[in-house]
């Protein structure tokens, strides 16, 4: 499988920031990994036009579980696809915390994304208190059980799992490489138990303060098939070296 470098811009980005996409495309015309940017929804269509013909893909940061309806301010998976997205993030810890999203809601969104023909990137991760209590694997196991479809009714590559320890997001802190590898090995085993051999082809991403200085070390950990990058994806000069490191992994 090809590794995936995914950038989550979160609530950042206006028209002037489209220059970062241009720079990234120019610097990586034929990357050795897949490259994805998930900008705010206001930029997806414009980015899709600029990225046309390149290797760069676009994704949404969230979607509603319904196709249409009276949901003011929400965006459906079909709308994202229509705008030019091929992927969508669901269940990010900031959505779980800020909007009270349960595993059941994340599952419904993942199913909506897959039904619309999008790749669903399902996020899981423990808080600092849960890690300190020794509950990391219990929390991850429960989130996987509740946030993923019961059956793999799609190509394995259409369902991506991103492990993002909540305490590492935007803090500059990261787990040790052994800790990252242990969680990813645990996730792979759980996915194989649930979906069988096709789960071997599902990509597992690590996220949480990934930056150029630690990318190569993180990508060397077992069962790490890419990264979901936050702040370091906003600038091509920061995201580019991460893409390059993943291409060499």
Q: Counting every residue, how long is the chain?
A: 249
Answer yes or no: is pLDDT of 70 > 90: yes
Residue tagged 């070296």 (tokens): 241
Nearest to 244 by CA among 89, 19, 30, 23: 30
Over residues 132-170, the pLDDT tens digits come to 999 999 999 999 999 999 999 999 999 999 999 999 888
Q: What is the pLDDT of residue 171?
A: 86
Reported in sequence order, the residue ranges of the chain that DSSP labels E, i.e. its strands, are 4-8, 34-38, 56-60, 87-90, 119-124, 159-163, 204-206, 226-229
Going 91 to 94 to 96 to 100, the CA torsion angle's sign is negative
Q: List, for residues 175-228, the tens digit of each pLDDT value.
A: 999 999 999 999 999 999 999 999 999 999 999 989 999 999 999 999 999 999
Using CA atoms, how far residue 117 sits from 17, 100, 112, in Å, is 28, 26, 9
Give 173's pLDDT tier (boundaries 50, 70, 90): confident
pLDDT for the residue numbered 151: 92
pLDDT for res 219: 96
Nearest partner of 228 among 99, 91, 64, 103, judged by Cα: 91
How far is it, in rounded angstroms, from Cα 149 to Cα 197? 16
Q: pTM of the predicted model, to two decimals?
A: 0.97
- For tokens 């229509």, the residue is 82
Q: Which residues are catalytic?
A: 92, 164
Quote the pLDDT of residue 170: 84
- What pLDDT score was predicted for residue 218? 95
φ/ψ bin of 143: left (φ > 0), alpha (ψ from -120 to 50), beta (otherwise): alpha
Cβ atoms of 208 and 164 closer than 8 Å: yes
The reported pLDDT for the residue numbered 124 is 98
**pLDDT for residue 241:** 97
Cβ–Cβ < 8 Å for 229, 10: no
CATH class of 4-248: alpha beta
Q: Is residue 174 predicted with pLDDT exceeding 90?
A: no
* Mean pLDDT rounded to a whole number for the chain: 96
Query: Nearest 5 degrees, angle CA 25-CA 243-CA 89?
Result: 90
3-state secondary structure 194-238: HHCHHHHHCCEEECCCCCCCCHHHHHCCCCCCEEEECHHHCCHHH
Distance (Å, whole) CA 4 – CA 242: 11
């Amino acid at each position: 499988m090809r590794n995936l470098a995914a950038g989550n811009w979160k609530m950042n980005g206006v028209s002037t920031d489209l220059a970062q996409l241009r720079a990234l495309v120019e610097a990586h015309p034929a990357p050795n990994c897949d490259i994805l940017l998930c900008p705010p929804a206001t930029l997806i269509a414009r980015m899709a036009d600029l990225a046309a013909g390149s290797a760069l893909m676009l994704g949404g940061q969230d979607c509603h579980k319904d196709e249409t309806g009276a949901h003011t301010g929400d965006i459906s998976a079909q709308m994202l696809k229509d705008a030019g997205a091929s992927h969508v993030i669901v269940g990010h810890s900031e959505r779980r915390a800020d909007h009270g999203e349960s595993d059941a809601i994340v599952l419904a969104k993942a199913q909506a994304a897959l039904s619309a023909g999008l790749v669903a990137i399902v996020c899981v991760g423990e808080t600092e208190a849960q890690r300190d209590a020794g509950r990391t694997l219990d929390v991850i196991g429960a989130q996987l059980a509740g946030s993923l479809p019961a059956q793999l009714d799609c190509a394995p590559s259409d369902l991506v799992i991103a492990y993002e320890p909540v305490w590492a997001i935007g803090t500059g802190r990261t787990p040790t490489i052994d800790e990252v590898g242990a969680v990813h090995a645990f996730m792979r085993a759980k996915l194989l138990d649930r979906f069988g051999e096709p789960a071997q082809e599902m990509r597992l991403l690590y996220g949480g303060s990934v930056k150029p200085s630690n990318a190569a070390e993180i990508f060397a950990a077992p069962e790490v098939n890419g990264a979901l990058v936050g702040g370091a994806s906003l600038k091509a000069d920061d995201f580019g070296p991460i893409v390059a490191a993943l291409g060499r992994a």
